[in-house]
Amino acid sequence: MGVVNVTPDSFSDGGQWIDPARAVAHGLELHAEGAGILDIGGESTRPGAEPVDEAEELRRVLPVVEELARAVPQATVSIDTSKARVAEQAIEAGATYVNDVTALGGDPGMAGVVAAAGCQLCLMHMLGSPRTMQQDPTYGDVVAEVAAFLTERAELAIAAGVAPEQIQVDPGIGFGKTEAHNLELLRRLDEIAAIGFPVVVGLSRKSFLGSITGRGDPAARVAASVAGAVLAWERGASVLRVHDVAATVDALKVAAATLAAP
């Protein structure tokens, strides 16, 4: 899953792709590098991010969704939103995947939109909201609590008419977690996979990788991100949400060939 942030304030690439033409070109490049899913987002979810109103989010994402869906029909175009109307209009424009960081908690209409469209749905765990999530996040057992939350949200989606095979789950690394929580989730990711849904992991360029490596610039965390992606895949991740597609694809090819070797 390649990241296409159509935002001025995302933590790693805010402002780079705010122009629709540049965002589309970036999405095409990510697809050429091996991204099977292109995740279009018009509202930053970095720690401390302010919410974006519906009209502005639609203005940012719809031209990009529509053009990428037209240009690369073999790719899955994803809309990264927690707003039902944004999801609905993005689906009309060609998106077939909804990536909801609130796990249906942000808008009571979201489950119905997904169920009616029959598209894929990613449910992510987040403690609080982007504005508050890093204010002293606390868990007893972070893996058990995240797994229980994702199971409950998946059951809610199914009760609303979403088919189980449409659902994927994301433990939300970096969303209301300390460095220790993130590493514990990565180390025990097989326990998240064991709840029975494909697992999406997004740790690309995140601040805990900078803390571990001493790399303050998110763009300098490519090697750390690739290492995390390989570890996540080895522990059961089905989808890796990344900024650096080519490097991640190469690393996964080596890891897969190694495990498949006689």
**3-state SS, residue 152:** helix
**How far apart are the C-alpha atoms of 11 and 124, rounded to whole Å?**
18
Lookup: tokens for 242: 């990344």
Lookup: tokens for 61: 């994402």
Active site (annotated) includes residue 221:
no
Query: How far lies 126's CA from each of 33, 102, 112, 206, in Å?
Result: 30, 7, 21, 15
Active site (annotated) includes residue 241:
yes
Catalytic member of 206, 221, 235, 253: 206
**How far apart are the C-alpha atoms of 79 and 99, rounded to whole Å?**
6
Catalytic member of 83, 188, 221, 241: 241
Q: CA angle, 175 as apex, 125 and 181 as ends, to 5°? A: 90
Which residues are paired to 77 by β-bridges? Answer: 38
> Which residues are annotated as catalytic?
206, 241
